[in-house]
Amino acid sequence: MLRIARPSQARSSQRSLLSFVTATCLLSASVIPAVAAPTAQATQPKASAAAQASNTAQISNTAQAAPVAYNRFIITYTDEAKNAASTDATADQIDWSAAAGTQQATWADALYAGITSEVQSIDELLNIKTSYVRSTALDASVVTTSAELTPAQAQQYMDALSANSKVASVSPDMRRYATVDSTAETVKINDPKMNRMWSLTGEKGVSALEAWGTTRGKGVTVAVLDSGITAHPDLDANVLPGYDFIAESAFSNDGDGRDSDPTDAGNWTVDNQCFTGSKATASDWHGTHVAGTIAAIANNNEGIAGVAPEAKIVPVRVLGACGGFDSDITDGIIWAAGGSVRGVPANQNPAQVINMSIGSEGTCTTPYRQAIAQANKRGSIVVVAAGNNNFDASKSSPGNCEDVINVGATDKNGKRSYFSNYGSRVDVSAPGGDRRYWGGGILSTLNAGKTAPGKADYAEYQGTSMAAPHVAGIVALMKAVDPKLTYAQAKKVLQSTSQGVECDQSACGSGIVNAARAVQQVRSDREAADAAAAEAARKKAEEEAARKKAEEEAARKKAAEEAARKKAEEDAKRQQAPAPKVTPAPKVTPAPKATRPSRPVTRPSRPVTRPSYPSRPRYGHTPRYRSWYGASANTYPSSGYLNSGYLGFATGNHR
C-alpha cells in the first residue's frame, strides 16, 4: 500500500502557518500566503476567542499591513504525470493520517509522492520541512513549509520544484481578501428606502429599474464566493443551498472545516491571530452585503432591492478570519460552476454567474486560470472586483486573470472612486461608493452582530466589492433574457452599452454599466440570432427540398436511361440473331357440323282419377252386386255418373 508520509505535527503546523490578515481588511493589505509562528489565540476554542474579541477595547476594521512571507504553495502536475498516477494507484490504495483522524485520499495524492525525493532535496538546501496538506479539485497538491521563506527563497523553492518533469507549475497559496472598506454606517430601515439606492436609480447608477420591465433575473443563479451569508428577511427567499469551503478550522470561526453550511459565522479576529502585531477586528458580514446588492427581494416592504431581485443566490464560503486561501477559492469556483470537488457533494444549482469581490496583490496563477477556464466552459460568467489599492489593476489578482469581467468603482458623481484600481485591465465600472460624501456609500443587507451573527440589518459600504455585484446582477438579467450568453458576449455587450464617466478609459474601462441598455441589447441580439437561425433553417429546408428534388430527377433520368439502354441492347440482339425457322402450322380438320339434337317433348300427364268398378255384371247376376251399389241400384251407372246411388265418388271425380 502506498502511503504518503505526514508528520504528526502537520496539523498544528498548518494552523500556525495560516495566520494572516483578516478577510475584512482593505485590499490595500499586502498579499501574504502564511505567517510566522503560531499564537495561542490562533488555536484556542471559538468561545474563548470570541470572548476575547468582544472584550477588546478597540476592534478595528482598518487595513493592517502584514509582513511579506511565503510558506504555503500549490503544485500542479503535467497530464503525463496524472495519467501515470491514475494507473499506479487508486482511492482504496492510498491513505494518510491526520491529527483529526484517518482520511481517505485519492490517486491524485500519489502525484506528490512521486516528487518527494526532489522535495526532500530542496528541504535540505533551505533547511526547512515541507508537509503535504491535501489535493485540490485541479488535482494539485497543497503543501506548507515549516519556516517562512523570503521572496527570494520562495522563488528558489518554486523554481527547483518546477524543474521536475512531472510538475507543471508551482505558485504561492496566497491569501485573498474582501475588496471592501468595511467602515460602515448602519441604517435602521422600517420601510423601503429606494430613495437611498442611487446606485440603482440615479443618473450615475446602473438603471436597474428600467430593465425590470423586461426581466428581473428569474431563473438565473448567482454564486457569491465570499464570507458566507446570514439570515435576512430581504434575502432568505432567494438563497439556495451552498457550501463552506474553508478547510482550516482555525480560521473558519465555526469550529470545523469544510461542510454543507455556508452560514457566515463571522470573520472576527483577535490580536496577533493573522500575524504578529495584527489587531482584533469585528465581523463585517461582507458576503451578506454583496448578496443583497445582487438579489435583495423587491416590493416586499423590507428596505432595499437588488439589481436582479428574482435571481437566486448560492453562497460559497471561502473567506474566514484572516481572508481565504487560493486553494479554497479555486475549489469554490469549480464547485459553483457545477464541477466536481473530491469529498464535496455536487452543486445541485450550478451558477450561471459567479461573483468574487475578492482580491489582493499578485499575479494570476495557474490554479486560477484553470478554475476560471472550467467555469467558462460550463457556461458560468465570472465577475471580479478590481481592488481598492488605487494602483494599476494588472497588479491585483484574480481580477487580472483572463476571461473574467474586472470591475472598477465609481462614486455618486460618476467619477472613479478614490480607492479604486484603474488601468487597461479594468473592463467596466459600477457604483462602488465614496463615503466621504453623505449617503455616498452602497446600501445593502447586513447583520448587526459584532462577532457572531445578530439580528438582520442594513448598512452602507464602499469598495470595488460593492461595484462587482452590480455587474453580476446585470449579467444575471442578461442571462435571463439569453441563457446561452457566453462570457465574451456578455463582456462585449456590457462595454458597448456602458455610459460615460468622469474619467477616461485608462482609469474606468468602458464606463458605468447600464442594465437597461445591456438587457435591451441582449434581447435584440437574441431576436436577431433567432431570426437568423429561422432564416437559416428555412434556407436549409429549401436547399434540402431542392436537393431531394434534384436527386429524384436524377434518379428518374437514370432509370429512363437504363431502360433505354436495356431496350437498345435487346434490339441489337434481335438484329444480330438469325431469323427463326418457320414451321408450317398443321392442317386443321374442321370439326363435324354439330346436329341439333331433337328436343324431347315432355308433356305432363294429366292425372285421371277413375273409380274402380267391379267386373261388369252379367245380365242376371244383379243380386250379387246389390250390396255394392245399393239396394236401389239395379243397373250400371250411365255416362252421366249420377250422384245418387254411388258410394265413394264425389262430384268432380269423373271426366
Cβ(472)–Cβ(383) below 8 Å = yes
Taking alpha carbons only, the member of 516, 469, 442, 474 closest to residue 197 is 442
CA distance 653 to 95: 134
In the chain, the largest separation of any two C-alpha atoms, in whole Å, equals: 185
Environment class of 448 (CB within 10 Å of its CB; exposed 0-12, middle 13-18, buried 19+): middle
Q: Select which of 226, 254, 434, 457 is catalytic.
A: 226
Q: What are the residues facing 408 on neighbouring strands?
A: 429
DSSP states of 228-260 as a string?
-B---TTTGGGBPP-EE----HHHHSSSSSSBS
In the DSSP assignment, the letter for residue 129 is: -
Evaluated on CA atoms 475, 476, 481, 486, the torsion sign reads positive
**Where are the extended beta strands (E) located within 333-441?**
353-356, 358-361, 381-385, 396-397, 405-410, 428-431
CA distance 19 to 415: 37
Q: Is 226 a catalytic residue?
A: yes
Q: Is 465 a catalytic residue?
A: yes
Task: Give the amino acid at 369.
Answer: R
CA distance 318 to 177: 10
In the DSSP assignment, the letter for residue 647 is: S
HSE, CB side, 13 Å, CA atoms: give it for residue 602. Answer: 2
Q: Select which of 28, 109, 264, 286 is catalytic.
A: 286
Cβ(387)–Cβ(469) below 8 Å = no
Kindly report the number of other CB atoms within 10 A of residue 231's CB atom.
Answer: 14
CA distance 482 to 339: 22
Kindly report the number of other CB atoms within 10 A of residue 312's CB atom.
Answer: 22
CA distance 9 to 534: 66
HSE, CB side, 13 Å, CA atoms: give it for residue 287. Answer: 32
Task: Give the amino acid at 47.
Answer: A
Cβ(349)–Cβ(306) below 8 Å = no
CA distance 269 to 54: 10
Task: Give the amino acid at 425.
Answer: R
Task: Give the amino acid at 512.
Answer: I
Cβ(344)–Cβ(335) below 8 Å = yes
CA distance 480 to 491: 16
Q: Select which of 16, 182, 420, 465 is catalytic.
A: 465
How do 405-410 and 381-385 pair as beta strands?
Answer: parallel
CA distance 502 to 508: 9
Report the side by side order of strands in the sheet with 221-226: 243-244, 312-317, 221-226, 353-356, 381-385, 405-410, 428-431
Name the helix (H) or strand (E) containing 48: helix 46-55
Taking alpha carbons only, the member of 34, 247, 243 closest to residue 136 is 247
| Number of helices (H), then strands (E), in the chain | 18, 21
Q: Give the catalytic positions in this structure.
A: 226, 286, 465
